[in-house]
Structure 1
Amino acid sequence: MGRARDIMRRSIFTFLKDFQLFTLFPCLIAFSYAVSVLMSQSLVSSSHVFVLIHGRMRSLFLAAGIPPSSEIFAFFNLKLSETVFTFLIALPFSFSFLLLAKASVIRALDHRRLEKSYPFSSWLSEFNTLCVTQLWNSLVMLSANATSFCILSISFNLFDVLGLSSKGSILLLSATGLVIYSIVLANSYITCKLALVLSGMEKQGGFASILKAFFLIRGRTLTALSLAVTLSLGLAAIEALFQYRVAKAYHESMTLSSSMVLEGMLVSYLYSILLVLDTVNDCVFVESCRNDPPERLPIACIPRSFSRASLNFLADDRDQVADQVERRKDNRHPQMEMY
């Protein structure tokens, strides 16, 4: 937790140091994505698409052998349907405005580190790389969800065959399955987040960035999870604020006033600020991982299905990081070379 606290402090300091830069251009780009996410959650109760998604998910659970009497999976089905609905509504904005905002933040930090001026048009060179990586991230998250769902389905059917279909057994299996699902999803989420930042910093996207991010967080998973949970709680708090101040007031009066619009815009802007801070935090975390003494990548543990080019790409990156660490150690004690 101490390491996560230091990274968070450094991220906030970096954000406040260039406050005008980060709150002007990247936040305005991410504003559209923030509005789509907040508005999609307000449309859940009155949308026919959500009812259709919820019914399809329930049918899928029944077909997989998961008992409908489980209250845990009833709640899980509801939240998963809300997540799918929000993802579909915000999908066009996540592949356009959100990636543009992340590219502008990564480019701004890169130019600030190199002590160069920051042209606003320079983020376009990273957009295509981020878009390719985002597509791979979507496939990875889909695969993680599908794998977890298949394991849950096999477990429930196995318990049914063995005659362990009592209420206590179902409750125990449901709780265990949700814990395992949360662990798999959390690790996939932080890996995909860091892969997106790595692809923008190194100008090379695709599955190689996901593989590098996976090895980058080895031994630092707890720190990455702590940072992700902290910022996710902040985003959830802003979403709850929007529901309480804007959505609830609109449903009670059924009229849209100018104060509601202004308050909704303010909350959406706060949401976009936190999205930008999240990207800054990911960049700082990646830099801190690179500055640590690098560990040798377990090449023997990598499946043979990966190409030799991908393995060489990872090994070259490891050697580059090691050289950077050695140069920094030498620069810290320049007078020792005289003796």
Structure 2
Amino acid sequence: MKKTMEDPSKIIRRSIHTFLQHFHRATTAAAVALPFSTALLLSQPFFSSSSSSLHMKLNTLFRGAGFSSSLGFFNILSIKLSQTLSSSLLTLPFSLTFLLFSKAYIIKLLSNNHDSVYYFPLLRTYICNSLFLLSANASAFALFFLSFNILESFGFSSSNFYTVFSLSSAIIYSIILANAFVISNLALVSSTSSSSGGYTTILKACLLLRGRTSTALALALPTNLGLAGVEALFRYRVMRSFYKGDRDVTSIAVEATLIAYLYALFLVLDTIVNFFFYQSCVKNEEDQKICGEDEYSIKIQICETENTKICIKGPTSCQEIL
């Protein structure tokens, strides 16, 4: 008999309880991740300048691929992609050091294994995750390109078609990207259970997520909403005040540091949630394996009992069975 997956609300409650129970260590991990969160939030002012040329190149690429300028989704997508790429490049040194150090510290705390070095498996898996996310985006664009050109060759070129195709593409792209991020987060946490990490942990995460995608998405939603809320708070309280000049620079800097630290705390909580989700997946797999072995042993015992009954009937039957 197979056991069901642990409820997402229980994993979230256990994660919050662990976060509060080890709050002093969680705050230490957040302090380690503070340079990364600060760099990520401060990279937003560069979006209008550094991502404008990249946005134009992406628009040219989409039009060269055959996408019409009437598809508003791809105009928005090129803006978001240029912003994401610019931010990722600006924060890459911080993510490869401070962010991974913070994750390694939290995972070592939760796993109670203080002898292993978790940074290098995390580093290799993080690099593979970046390539995996690029591949997911490229696969999505190839799918949209083929679908759009096939449908357009059949005469679908009205404004209603462009609207429906943009909406459906946005939904499909969101699903692909959400699953890719869930796989990446689970692979990053599971890499600490092996000595190497890398692309094999991504394959392991894909196998663990079979039948558990809805649970993973439900767990990722609260922390991602929290991170998005902190980013919006930073834009409203820090960037808005900085451009308006209605406050002095010192108070803005202090508030920016506090908001960046809050963002780092959400990153720590997200690591804890992913760790407990990974443990739940592994435990569920082991329980299913044990249940399968128990069912097999029960069947063997029944067969042996039946053979014994047949043997009791007479030596002829026993000789035939033997």
Give the TM-score of the pair, scaled to structure 2.
Answer: 0.84
Local SS of the residue matching 2:157: coil
RMSD (Å), alpha carbons: 2.2
Could you report, residue by residue, the CA deviation over 1:76-109 in whole angstroms, capped at 9, with x for unpaired residues? 2222221122111111111111111111111111
**What residue in structure 1 maps to residue 60 of structure 2?**
59
The answer as to whether partners of 1:129 and 1:199 remain within 8 angstroms in 2 is yes
State which of 201, 215, 219 in structure 2 corresponds to 1:209. Answer: 201
| Letter matched to residue 251 of structure 1 | Y
In 1, Cα distance between equivalents of 2:237 and 2:56? 30
State which of 8, 11, 19 in structure 1 corresponds to 2:23. Answer: 19
Alignment map for 1:309-328 (pairs within 5 Å): 322=290
Could you report, residue by residue, the CA deviation over 1:107-156 in whole angstroms, capped at 9, with x for unpaired residues? 11112xx6xxx6xxx67x21111111111111111111001101111122
Alignment map for 1:111-122 (pairs within 5 Å): 111=112
| Letter matched to residue 30 of structure 2 | C
**What residue in structure 2 maps to residue 314 of structure 1?**
none
The answer as to whether partners of 1:110 and 1:201 remain within 8 angstroms in 2 is no
Task: State the identity %.
Answer: 38
**What residue in structure 2 maps to residue 276 of structure 1?**
268
Local SS of the residue matching 2:210: coil
Deviation of the 1:255 alpha carbon:
7.4
Is the alpha carbon distance of 1:50 and 1:256 closer, same or farther for their aligned partners in structure 2, counting shifts above 3 Å?
A: farther
Aligned length: 289
Q: Say whether residues 1:100 and 2:101 are aligned partners.
A: yes
Q: Could you list the runs of 5+ residues in structure 1 that have no partner in the other structure?
A: 297-318, 327-339
Larger Cα Rg: Structure 1 or Structure 2? 2
Q: Could you list the runs of 5+ residues in structure 2 that have no partner in the other structure?
A: 295-322
Deviation of the 1:201 alpha carbon:
3.2
In 1, Cα distance between equivalents of 2:174 and 2:212? 18
In 2, Cα distance between equivalents of 1:43 and 1:82? 9
Deviation of the 1:254 alpha carbon:
8.2
Is the alpha carbon distance of 1:63 and 1:18 closer, same or farther for their aligned partners in structure 2, counting shifts above 3 Å?
A: same
In 2, Cα distance between equivalents of 1:61 and 1:246? 34
Deviation of the 1:54 alpha carbon:
0.8
Higher relative contact order (CA 8 A, sep 6+): 2
In 2, Cα distance between equivalents of 1:108 and 1:203? 17
| Letter matched to residue 33 of structure 2 | A
Q: Say whether residues 1:5 and 2:6 are aligned partners.
A: no
Task: Choose 212-221 or 287-296, whichever is displaced more.
Answer: 287-296
Deviation of the 1:44 alpha carbon:
1.7
Is the alpha carbon distance of 1:290 and 1:173 closer, same or farther for their aligned partners in structure 2, counting shifts above 3 Å?
A: same
**What residue in structure 1 maps to residue 39 of structure 2?**
36
The answer as to whether partners of 1:130 and 1:200 remain within 8 angstroms in 2 is yes
Give the TM-score of the pair, scaled to structure 1.
Answer: 0.80
Deviation of the 1:269 alpha carbon:
0.3
Alignment map for 1:153-172 (pairs within 5 Å): 153-172=145-164
Deviation of the 1:228 alpha carbon:
1.0
Alignment map for 1:180-199 (pairs within 5 Å): 180-199=172-191
The answer as to whether partners of 2:70 and 2:162 remain within 8 angstroms in 1 is no
In 2, Cα distance between equivalents of 1:96 and 1:248? 30
| Letter matched to residue 7 of structure 1 | I
Deviation of the 1:2 alpha carbon:
8.3
Is the alpha carbon distance of 1:70 and 1:293 closer, same or farther for their aligned partners in structure 2, counting shifts above 3 Å?
A: closer
In 2, Cα distance between equivalents of 1:283 and 1:87? 24
